[in-house]
Amino acid sequence: MRLKGKVAIITGGSKGIGYGTAKVFLQEGATVMVCSSKGAQDAAAELSSLGTIEGFKVDVSKKEDIQMLVDHVLEKYKRIDILINNGGITQDAQMYKMTEEQFDRVIEVNLKGTYLFSKAVLPAMMEQKYGKIVNLSSVSAFNGAFGQSNYAASKAGLMGMTRVMAKELGKYGINVNAVAPGGIATEMLMAIPEEGKQKRLEIIPLKRFGTPEEVGYLCAFLSSDEAGYISGETIVIDGGRS
């Protein structure tokens, strides 16, 4: 129960890593708000037996959506302790085929969405002199996965933003870190043809894909007081591939 009494917001919480993280946070005692462009209410209903959780439809690229959720949380729970910036999308294409719309939308959601959500919760965290922010990056930021110039750029940008935020916000008792998953068994990965999955497994030393909950455990640690002296870091979780 390392997160007992804490109020957490998890973006992109309807499935995959966000859903797994919400599950872990509830088991650790947190009050959880999950949001997503779709499916957040259903996810909250599925996890409600584990603790206090609410689901909200939020587009992280829209300030008005974000502020609605932040205002609700502050009015009802009086504080925001943890923000997990997990919401993100992919729109893959080789660079010479990628449209401006594909590039802009991925940057808008993955990178600017993290900026907008972080900025919205910071006044509350700064006032209470306490906060934990975890930004979900990706190993794609390091290895430049084929067809993901927009996605890799957004996730590399998150690592840079994390370092700056940590330096600026430390004096307010706010820790900011990033997590870079790779090879996690989400719906997106499982949809890959079997041959493709086997090729990926061959280069993972642990010879298996990670689970969304395993990423959630790492996020829970970074959001706990046990990680009180860790800030500005990016921690890779990819089964040893890196």
Q: What amino acid positions are annotated as catalytic residues? A: 151
Closest by Cα among 64, 1, 79, 90 to 33 = 79
Is residue 34 within 8 Å of residue 54, measured between CB atoms? yes
**Comparing C-alpha atoms, which of 237, 223, 235 is closest to residue 181?**
237
What is the crossing angle of helices 149-169 and 113-128, to 10°? 20
User: Whole-angstrom Cα distance, residue 81 to residue 123?
Assistant: 12
Adjacent-strand bridge partners of 31:
7
What are the structure tokens assigned to 45, written together?
């209903």
31-36 and 131-136: which strand pairing?
A: unpaired
Instruction: Specify the residue for token string 């932040």.
Output: 70
| Lateral strand order in the sheet of 7-11 | 53-57, 31-36, 7-11, 82-85, 131-136, 174-181, 234-237
- Beta-carbon contacts of residue 172 (< 8 Å; ≥ 6 apart): 125, 126, 129, 131
- CA dist., res. 118 & res. 136, Å (int): 13
Cβ proximity of 51 and 29 under 8 Å: yes
